[in-house]
Homo-oligomer: A and B are copies of this chain.
Amino acid sequence: MGNLLKKEEITSLRLTSKLFKGFADYSRLFIFEVLMNGEKTVSEIVEATGISQSAISNHLKCLRECELVNDRHEGKYVYYSVSDDRVKEIIKLAKEIIKEASEERYRCIKY
């Protein structure tokens, strides 16, 4: 076979695909959208998105564990924010591509 990857490169690809899964869902992308202009509490996110509290909390858990967002506890509130400017940059680039694309391009059913 050709240039099959080394173990560490396989790991890196697996982690990178996992990172992208963070962005590959409507609800989570909506969360990022809400967080783009600064930190928000969970209830603010719930209110801004209209998504259920448990769904938001489940998503935030994942995003937090993958360190795509940071959390800051203050009294009974938890403030979430985007962890890294490169995260914002990735989303910005993707939205740029979409802006130029025709809607039909994204009919892809499988995957």
Contacts and interface: CB of A to CB of B under 8 A. Distances in A.
A59 B59 CA distance: 26
Given A4-B49, A105-B65, A33 B13 contact: yes
A107 interface: yes
A16 B95 contact: yes
A95 B30 CA distance: 23
A94 B93 CA distance: 12
Interface size bracket, A side: 35 or more
Contacts of A65: 105-108
Interface in A76-96: 84, 86-87, 89-91, 93-96
A84 B94 CA distance: 11
